[in-house]
Amino acid sequence: MNIFLKLLKVDRRFIYIFIAIVVILPLLLKPKFPVVPSKPVKDVYDYIENLPEGSNVMISIDYDAASMPEQQPFLEALLRQLFRNKLKPILIVQWQLGAPLGTMGLEKIAKEMGAVYGVDYINLGYRPGYVAQIVGIGKEIRDYFKVDYRNVPLDSFPMMKNVHNYNDIALLVGLEAGATYLVWIEYAGGRFKQKIALALNAVSAPDAYYFYQSGQIVGLVGGMKGAAEYEVLVGKPDIAVAGMASQSYSHLVIILFIILGNIAYFIEKRTKSKEGGK
């Protein structure tokens, strides 16, 4: 029997194994995979590159575990860039369930880059009531964050001495799984002229593109693809690039199977019509 005809009746499990391999292997091996940064992502990167040393960058964790594959890689790449450029991240959380994720990423990269807590970075944790909070930081951050995530007073940290409101924050980066970013844009951006960059889940990124075009945000990182682009810009391709490799290869595998299936289909059709001719 023709090999292609065998393929026509290929066991579905054969396809499953292929999919599993092309997804898992890149995640394990993290191969070099060509990812070309797009303009909205590069804008975020360049804006941060041009910040003067010692500037404060506020990072808002507005996602939870469900969006971890999309957001966590960007958080890590961003923190690498910040620490490398001696910029000071201030982490706050608007989605309660995201708090452990933010802390995890921050501690991991700080350790890797040798940053010191309270001097080079700080983690303020979660506070309820995000609209009031986002407006309130325009006045005085201590109204909402008197203490950090472990209840240590803010004023005991050297880096927070001169931080009071948006005027002391060079850039706000929102990592967004929902619509919290609209509040950041409306209040922090609209009212207090805070510069904002956003990282959004792939599904909501197209909605926010409008704000990028109108200049209300400096840049936009969309989904795992955006995170992969950022990893390339920062110069340390990591899990998102690997994920994009997984995505690309799995798409390719599916396409290959479709093509093989069709070849088999046509061969079968021809054999059948020949047989019919006899």
Partner 1 sequence: MAVSTNFWIWIAALLTLAIYSFLYKDNPFYKFAEYLLVGISIGYGISVYWHNTIITKVFNPLVYDKNFLVLIPLILGLLMFSRFFKNVAYLSRIPIAFVVGAGTGLSVPSSFEFLFKQIYATMPLKLDIGSLIIVVGVISTLVYFFFSLEHKGFVGEVSKAGITFIMVAFGAAFGYTIMARVSLFIGRIQFLLSDWLGIIK
Partner 2 sequence: MLKKILLLIFLVFSVSLFSQGNDSIIFLENQNPFLDFKLTGSDIPNDGGGGIQINWCFPDSLGNWFLTVLRRDDSNNIMVVATDLLVSSMQVRDVSSDEEPSRVKDNSNYYYTGILSKNMISEEFLNRLISNGSGYSKNGVYIFGNDTFYVTGETDPIVSKSSWFNLSRIPVLVSLIIIAFVFLYYLNLAKSGKDLYIRKINGLDAVEEAVGRSTEMGKPIMYILGIGYVTDIPTIAGLTILGRVAKKVADYETRILVPSYDPVVMTTAQEVVKEAFTEAGRPDLYNKNDIMYITQDQFGYAAGVDGMMMREKPGAVFLQGLFFAESLILAETGHSIGAIQISGTTETAQLPFFVAACDYTLIGEEMMAASVYLQKEPMMLGSIAAEDLLKVFIMFLIITGFVLSVLGYGLKIEVLKNVFDWLIKLLQV
Partner 3 sequence: MLKGKGIPIFITFLVGMIMIISFFIPHKPFGDIEKISLNWYSIIAGFTMLLGVDSLIGMHFRKVKRKDENWFFSLVLIFGFVATVVVGIVETVRFGTAFDDKSYFTYIYNYFIVPLQATMFSLLAFFIASAAYRAFRARNFDATLLLITAIIVMLGRVPLGEQISPYLPKFTEWIMQVPQMAAKRGIGLGISLGALGVSIRIILGIERSYLS
**Minimal distance in Å, beta carbon 85 to partner 2?**
32
Binds 191: which of partner 2, partner 1, partner 3, none (CB < 5-8 Å by kind): partner 2
Could you give the 3-state DSSP secondary structure of residue 92?
A: strand
69 touching partner 2, by CB under 8 A: no
Which stretches within the chain are classed as H helix?
Answer: 3-8, 12-29, 39-49, 68-84, 99-113, 130-136, 180-183, 205-213, 223-234, 239-277
Binds 54: which of partner 3, partner 2, partner 1, none (CB < 5-8 Å by kind): none
String of contacts with partner 2 for each residue 1-40, x by CB under 8 A: -----------x----------------------------
DSSP per position, 152-168: -BGGGSGGGTT--SGGG
Among 43, 70, 148, 229, binds partner 1 (CB under 8 A): 70
**Cα-based angle 218, 246, 79 (whole degrees, multiple of 5):** 35
Among 69, 100, 118, 138, binds partner 2 (CB under 8 A): 138
Among 85, 165, 204, 248, binds partner 3 (CB under 8 A): 248
Binds 120: which of partner 3, partner 2, partner 1, none (CB < 5-8 Å by kind): none
Nearest to 233 by CA among 34, 83, 50, 37: 37
Q: Token digits for 122?
A: 């700080």
Distances in whole angstroms, Cα of residue 182 to Cα of each of 47, 90, 271: 21, 20, 61
* Residues engaged in binding partner 1 (CB under 8 A): 13, 16, 19, 23-24, 27-28, 68-70, 108, 202-203, 224, 239, 243, 246-247, 250-251, 254
Q: Which residue ranges make up the site for partner 2 (CB under 8 A)?
A: 12, 135, 138-139, 190-191
